[in-house]
Amino acid sequence: MTASEPRRQVVGEDWGQRELAGQHLADLDLTEVDLGEIEVAGVTFTGCVFRRCRFNASVFTDAAFTGCEFHGCTFFDARFVRCKLLGSRFVGCTFDLVQVDGGNWSFVSLRGAVLSGTRWRGTRLQEAELDRVQAVDAVLHDLDLTGASLAGIRLDGADLRGSALWALDAREASLRGAIVTPDQALVLAAALGVEVRDPHDDERR
């Protein structure tokens, strides 16, 4: 699409039964489109803008949303399996019961999103914007958070086992009741300036 060509507008359509597998859709503006309960593999969206769209109970496998924007969309019980959302941005969206298995969400913006109770496993979130995210009681296993922005994130009761926490400043996060491994606890302690020693170190000197 050239700079002079208008973006294609899609308004109020029901895509629940639409065949999207393997398609590449680019530069679309989708408003109040219903993708609820869709199960699709291999679809690619590039530079698309979704406004007030419904993704409830949808399953996307090996799909890509590259450089897309989501405004006021609902993702209730949606699942993303090995999906790429590189550089996409979410504003005012809801994510109740979302599951993310694998995939690459690097450079994504989820600033201020409520991810409480969601489940993420083995996902890359390198340099993602996660400031002020609320992920209370979420399952966040084996996430790569290298270079992610995590200021003011709430992780109370979250299961963080296996996730890379080097980018997390424990002084700026809420971690009450969070579950971590001993190695992760050392990383968090170091961020707080705490020196961890064996109880008998002094006796051995």
- Segment holding 9, helix H or strand E: strand 8-11
Residue with the larger pLDDT of the pair 161 and 170: 161
Q: Are strands 49-51 and 28-31 parallel, antiparallel or unpaired?
A: parallel
What is the pLDDT, as a whole number, of residue 99?
Answer: 98
Residue 111 near residue 128 (C-beta atoms within 8 A): no
| pLDDT above 60 (res 3) | no
Average pLDDT of the residues in 189-193 = 79
Tell me the pLDDT of the chain averaged across its residues: 92
| pLDDT tens-digit series, residues 92-124 | 999 999 999 999 999 999 999 999 999 999 999
- Segment holding 11, helix H or strand E: strand 8-11
| pLDDT above 90 (res 134) | yes
Average pLDDT of the residues in 57-69 = 98
Least confident of 3-17, 56-70, 161-175: 3-17
Average pLDDT of the residues in 117-146 = 97
DSSP letters for 126-184: TT-B-TT-B-TT-EEES-B-TT-B-TT-B-TT-B-TT---TT--GGGSB-TT-B--HHH
Q: What percent of the chain has pLDDT over 90?
A: 79
| pLDDT above 80 (res 4) | no
What is the pLDDT, as a whole number, of residue 203?
Answer: 57
